[in-house]
Amino acid sequence: MTVAVARWTRTQVAERVAESFTAGTVVNLGIGMPTLVADLVPVNRAVIFHSENGVLGIGPSPPPEEADPDLINASKDAITVLPGASFFHQADSFALIRGGHIDIAVMGAFQVSARGDLANWSTGDDRIPAVGGAMDLAAGAKSVVAMLTHTTSDGEPKLVDRCTLPLTGSGVVTRVYTDLIVADVLDGAFIVREMAPGMTVESLQAVTAAPVRLGLDRDSAL
């Protein structure tokens, strides 16, 4: 009997990322799916969210009717700020990134290799003019995790042995969160910590262009 695979929703993927943060962690949330994470971390856990346009201390997204057009993140989404939040010049924001003061960067991705290479700024169609601040985050954050759908809209794997798209950073990704798995990137393979309901190692390998192996639970350290 074939068991149907229930892919996680974007919110369910974000919940798994949010669960991994501990109090006092400084986290940068990249453009796209990562921005969902800020709404899912309890304020009393004291996770400090950073945005490269110059904000430290981002809170949950506001209701649409309460959005302040002057309060946005790097994705231009409306945000709130928590007590003690600070605003600063973008140059100072990048000094935080380049100085190694960001604990975790959560980034979207077009491809992630089994060696931890990250490709997240170009698919070759020239819609995005340049890599921008993504390369600074990939190089400067203490830990980089990627959030992405497991396959493209055409069903092609995004987790690969070697990236074929332009790289943002080489050997930087430590963990991936997709709509099928949570996995660590280790020793040229994706070490699976959790799989979506109905998923098997065999069916996972069929949609992953790199070795996958079962590992421990997802609570292991980043």
The predicted pLDDT at position 1 comes to: 41
Given a contact cutoff of 8 angstroms between Cβ atoms, the answer to whether 186 and 211 are in contact is no
Per residue in 102-130, pLDDT (tens digit) is 999 999 999 999 999 999 998 877 666 67
CB 140 within 8 A of CB 167: no
**Mean per-residue pLDDT of the chain:** 92
> What share of the chain in percent tops pLDDT 90?
84
CA dist., res. 96 & res. 144, Å (int):
15
Give 191-222 pLDDT, tens digit per residue: 999 999 999 999 999 999 999 999 855 444 44
Domain coordinates of the chain in residue numbers?
10-214
Q: Average of pLDDT values for 62-87?
A: 93
Task: Determine the pLDDT at residue 5.
Answer: 83
Decide if 113 contacts 162 (C-beta within 8 A): yes
pLDDT digits (tens, 9 = 90+) for 14-49: 999 999 999 999 999 998 899 999 999 988 889 999
Q: What pLDDT was estimated at residue 146? A: 98
Give the residue-averaged pLDDT of 97-101.
Answer: 96
Residue 69's contacts (CB-CB under 8 Å, 6 or more residues apart) are: 78
**Numbers of helices and strands, H then E, in the chain:** 4, 13
CATH of 10-214, one of 3.40.50.880, 1.10.540.10, 3.40.50.2000, 3.40.1080.10: 3.40.1080.10
Residues assigned a catalytic role: 52
Residue 164 has pLDDT above 90, yes or no: yes
